[in-house]
Amino acid sequence: MAERVTVSLTLNGERRTFEVPPGRRLLDLLRDDAGLIGTKEGCGAGECGACTVLLDGSPVTSCLVLAASADGHDVVTVEGLASAGRLHPFQEALVTRGGVQCGFCTPGIAVTGAAILAHREADPSEQARLLSGNLCRCTGYTKVIEALQAVTGMEHE
């Protein structure tokens, strides 16, 4: 397959351009072409949420998005949640409240959590429902929701 597609996108706030095979998934563009290994592959079928990134501000499972489809769009990965050298408040809360165990689901959870906060959803049951696409096998979710609740309502740009 000699064909390549050009994918130009805003990635963690920076304009980037890549030449990739047409069938490349956004997940692999991020990990292999952009070297951003924070986004993980847990199942490859959009069911576990470990590959979650923000596409134009909305959480999506990047294993199901063609890199070519991201052309012209805005993508934020877990590496892009921090600002001015500081972790996103939800990331910080996950650390201080014990919401991190093996860590493999954590980047996806951090991304979806950031989106939940940006959407200003404050009710813990609704937050849990919005997080239901991010599977975790270690924590039982309690400390994750507690961390989210702890920063609900805080301002963060």
Q: Which residues are within 8 A (CB) of 32 and not within 5 positions of it... i.e. 6 or more apart?
A: none
Footprint (CB under 8 A) of another protein, residues 80-119: 82, 87, 91, 94-98, 100-107, 110, 112
Rounded to a whole number of angstroms, the minimum distance from the CB of residue 156 to another protein is: 15
Q: Is the torsion defined by CA of 46, 52, 53, 54 positive or negative? A: positive
Among positions 74, 135, 149, 150, the unique one binding another protein when judged by CB under 8 A: 135
Please name the helix (run of DSSP H) or strand (run of DSSP E) that holds residue 131, with its range, or none: none
Considering only 9-17, 45-53, 149-157, which stretch makes contact with another protein by CB under 8 A?
45-53
> What are the b/e assignments for 96-111, b being 16+ CB within 10 Å?
ebebbeeeebbbbbbb
Among positions 46, 74, 149, 150, the unique one binding another protein when judged by CB under 8 A: 46
Rounded to a whole number of angstroms, the minimum distance from the CB of residue 126 to another protein is: 10
Among positions 34, 52, 117, 152, the unique one binding another protein when judged by CB under 8 A: 52
Q: Tell me which DSSP letter residue 139 carries.
A: S
